[in-house]
Amino acid sequence: MSRKAIELGCAALVCLGICGTSFGKYGGGSGTSKDPYLISTAEQLNAIGANSSDWAKCFKLMADIDLSAYKGTKFNRIGTHFVLNPFIGVLDGNSHTISNFTYDSKYTDMAGLVGCLGKGGLVKNLGLVGVHVTGGRFVGGLVGFSLYGTVIKCYSSGSVTGNKDVGGLVARVWLETIVYSFWDVQTSGQSKSLGGEGKTTAQMQDINTYLIAGWDFLGETANGAANIWFMPAGNYPRFVWEKDGL
């Protein structure tokens, strides 16, 4: 191999080392608050949990994501321990939903899409539809364990089971802020959660539940004119941009 070829090869490797950290893993962005990593596919969403070095970064969903391809424990939880390895970044659902999130391991503590949310961690504007989570202790649909984390305008429906400290939306909360977030006590099978507010299916499908909490719906102006949500009959709140597809 010529010296030139070796030099070119080395240059390419250096570039891969520098540029390769996010390239291909997510759908774009650099992980900052102004330029979050963009998540458009189930693979990209699952890549967050596989890269704990990114757990202080910012992520933004760019599409509804169906996780039904990930059975058992194939989905990588985002944040796995509330002290050693929490998620302390931002997961902005950007008015999208994640459906069919499954995590099935009765011996795993801190089970949830976000296993552990730590100080500074934020999950917002995200709907979880049809979750199926089984774990040990601290089992939640959206968040397993939260220590000083924040959840804003999220909802969750589906089944959540575990041995101890099980919650529909967030299993265990410690000094955290949960703002305007709900979970379905009937489909989740959980009447209690230390975060969020449990509602019956009828209440979850009643626009007034959300209007009182300040959600900005289409057809009302008291909660704002951005009109982020609408309420299809007999369903959970949906984001307005989904309206044409329903």
Interface contacts to Ca ion, rule CB under 5 A? 216, 220, 227
CB of 13 to Ca ion, least distance (A): 53
Integer CA distances (angstroms), 129 to 98, 138, 229, in order: 6, 20, 15
Residue with structure tokens 């990588």?
Answer: 76
Q: Which is nearer to Ca ion, 109 or 216 (CB)?
A: 216
Q: Which residues contact 169 (CB under 8 A, 6 or more apart)?
A: 140, 141, 142, 143, 151, 154, 155, 156, 178, 181, 182, 183, 193, 195, 196
Q: Which is nearer to Ca ion, 54 or 216 (CB)?
A: 216
- SS3 string, 154-221, reads EEEEEEEECCEEEECCEEEEECCEEECCEEEHHHHCCCCCCECEEECHHHHCCHHHHHHCCCCECCCC
CB of 227 to Ca ion, least distance (A): 4
CB of 217 to Ca ion, least distance (A): 5
CB of 233 to Ca ion, least distance (A): 18
Q: Which is nearer to Ca ion, 62 or 211 (CB)?
A: 211
Q: Which is nearer to Ca ion, 87 or 236 (CB)?
A: 236
Burial 18-49 (b: 16+ CB within 10 A, else e): eeeebeeebbebebeeeebbbbbebebbbbbb
CB of 234 to Ca ion, least distance (A): 21
Q: Which is nearer to Ca ion, 19 or 222 (CB)?
A: 222
At position 51, the amino acid (one-letter code) is: N
DSSP string, 10-65: HHHHHHHHHHTTTTTTSSS--SSSSSPEEE-SHHHHHHHHH-GGGTTSEEEE-S-E
Q: Which is nearer to Ca ion, 94 or 161 (CB)?
A: 94
CB of 211 to Ca ion, least distance (A): 9
Q: Which is nearer to Ca ion, 138 or 217 (CB)?
A: 217
CB of 79 to Ca ion, least distance (A): 33
